[in-house]
Structure 1
Amino acid sequence: MTAVDDKRAPCLFISHGTGPFPLLDPEQQAFREMLRKHGSKLDGVKGILFFSAHWETKQPHITMGDEPGLYYDYEDQRAVLPKEAFEFQYAAKGDSQLAIQIAAQLRHRGFKPVLESRGFDHAVYVPMILMRPQADIPIVQMSVLRGETDIESTELNIQLGQAVESFRDRGYAVIGSGGSYHDFQAIAKAYFENKIVPAGSSAFEDFLESAASIQDPKARAKALLGWRSHASSYLAHVEGSSEHLMPFMVAAGSGGGHGGVKFDMYTYKGATMSQYIW
């Protein structure tokens, strides 16, 4: 496998875990320690283009504000979540000029981007509180794209990643934040009822690692477009609910001509969640 290109800003995929609980749950100390030790991967970057699984749109949406603040995107669960879930702070700046440049690049590539005011959702602040608690890197959050089918969504998000890849040459990291495993119902039962996630999804992790490692970007995209041909994909991402995999597709699209490397993995009650770098 070709080594990750250290002449460009990095491109990462992060499995950000189970809502706000990675920051709150005593049982998830191993997850916190895992992400903390990888914060140095972002040393020296000028800013981050950050793609969230919790923001799905038909066309790319981009945060515009220089002082975005946080958006507690699980507000509808306030009655059942601990109050601490609504007290997180993360003071990273936005970058309105970078947002404008991203929008211009996406228009050039045939997209119709939308600039808007929006705070960072938990796909951003959960991993970043752990990786960069000093909040020293400006972030422009972006949506992932929703197609009519899982495969159309995959194609659109690979293209989106390809469209922003050149920002890596200017010192900006690309991060996709979602989950290599995400069955919401199974995870909820695991957390609230102490159940174990059904076995079988680990085979999908093997597929992702194999596809990510492909050096040729066209061959990588072709392999990833076939992800639903793997039976284990339906265990890892239930049909019609693949949004947590789409940040992986963005990251893979931005990977360029280098194979991706799985640099760490966390297992929670049988659910495996992996981290990648290109």
Structure 2
Amino acid sequence: MVIDWSVSKGPFPMKVSCAEASCWMWISGCTSGSSDQCIAMSSGESRTIEMCYSNAAREGLHMWWSSPNGTDPTTAGVKIYSQALNMEMNQLVEPGRSSMTYVKTHDTTQEESDYNHLRHEWFVMYLSSRALEPAHQGCQNVAAADAEMAQVVMRPEFYDKKIEKMDLWVSVIGEAGGAFGLAQTAFFALYLLLWYTQYGAYKLEEKLEETVHHHMHSAEVATDLEAAKKPVPESKATTDDHFVLGVEHATI
């Protein structure tokens, strides 16, 4: 998808219709086949106009509509249509100020006669209940005095999306690369599993050896302590020596 400047491209096709009213439209601030002229539409009439981008805040697309008495105001006015995927959508413009985002989708995988081959979509976003009065008179001299007014400005950027057929070799290489990447990931995961398993076994063996060594050392220390607690027996040689000395003293 490419994001481009609206001011450098265009004009852009936009389908509109007049719903349950008499409608008038005027595009100003840019150049197209529909700009700087009053476009009058009767109730139920639809047409495709050439929308363009304007830098001036008071320019853009101005609309006026007047409904017969008793008409529901929420269903009257100008509708803007979009070629959504597989079906057409529309949005009713409300009195006040709104902005529009344009998206162009070119699907080369579809036949030129197919609905989805080239689609134009407009996304309208409501901004304010007050439309800025244009510097020109526009259609105000022909619109009814009590007509509703709306101003719709195009956003400075638009989106150009292109869907193309994938080349066979590119597809094969992509699938092969994806399979290789998946296999590489699987082997790496297996390597990590084996490494952690071996490392865990090594650490367990080391821990067991340390525990056994600790217990053996503790047993040796306990044996030494027990031996230290026992009294040392007086040797026989010492007793005999005392006896001999006693005899010698008695003889003397």
Normalising by the smaller structure, the TM-score range is under 0.3
Name the larger-Rg structure.
Answer: 2
TM-score with structure 2 setting the length:
0.25
Q: Which has the higher strand share?
A: 2
